[in-house]
Amino acid sequence: MRRRFIAGNWKMFNVQGETRDFFNKFNVLLNDNADVMKAIIDKSIEIALFPPMLSIAPAVESSGNAAISIGAQNCHFEKSGAFTGEVSAPMLADAGCTHVIIGHSERRHIFGEHDAMLNKKTISALEEGLIPVFCVGELLEEREEGKTFEVVERQTVRGLESIDAATVAEKIIIAYEPVWAIGTGKTASKEDAQEVCAFIRKLLTDKYGSGVADRVLILYGGSVKPDNTKAIMSQPDVDGVLVGGASLKPDSFYAIVKEALSEI
């Protein structure tokens, strides 16, 4: 059985002091739950948080002896150079990150990041030992036009271009995040989430074989909350959730972790 992966993307929230406060409270909640700690130790569940860049250092320092993985929300595809304001994968690894989000819908649609660029970012992250959480998903108008599978296929195939099967199996996490369900209060039904996550796994099967596809973690992201986590994660091809606003508060994120644990 694939492990469960619970990720919290803080976006542009939580300065350093707020980050320390979060972990002070969240670590207590985790440590007081023997079942959660056993699942973390057994590697049947993994918890990852993705703070803003300036809060990565206090997050790494406060993450409870690696009980919680820390990642970044973005990286540049070059290792160094004259790219004012950018942060490279080697810098993230040096700061203690283990993961990085690539291709979040806000990066695609606000900052204009295209498939070829995201492929280069993914490869750069992998070269530094970072695990990419590679995001795919359709706009509302694309869904209404019946283009969901077309969009998701293009983003997945182009994003993973030239990455070998062993690396995909071991080092890639894919997150399906329908853009129309992010920060809107709208959530894809559990059937919607399963349909697209199953489609992604079939894409991987067709390209790399079932031995690879069956090992890749596929997440759902989009207005995930404690009260819908269990239903979403009850689906056979949904291995975890990428949480936005509900990950900003220790209590709500902990409630999501507990709901996820109930599905193991």
Residue 97 has phi, psi (to 5 degrees) of -70, 145
Number of domains forming the structure of the chain: 1
Q: Is pLDDT at 94 greater than 70 in this prediction? A: yes
Question: Does the residue 84 lie in any domain?
Answer: yes
Averaged pLDDT, 222-238: 95
**Residues 93/131, Cβ–Cβ less than 8 Å:** no
pLDDT confidence of residue 177:
95
Give me the residue label for tokens 């036009």.
145
Assigned domain for 255 exists: yes
Confidence of residue 65 (pLDDT cuts 50, 70, 90): low
Instruction: Tell me if 46 is assigned to some domain.
Output: yes
2, part of any domain: no
The rounded mean pLDDT for the chain is: 96
Range of the domain at 190: 9-261
Q: What is the CATH number of the domain that holds 222?
A: 3.20.20.70
Evaluate whether residue 1 is within a structural domain. no
Q: Which residues are catalytic?
A: 104, 177
The mean pLDDT value for 44-70 works out to 93
Q: What does the alpha-carbon distance between residue 264 and residue 255 come to, in Å, rounded to a whole number?
A: 15
Helix axes 148-159, 115-127, angle to 10 degrees: 40
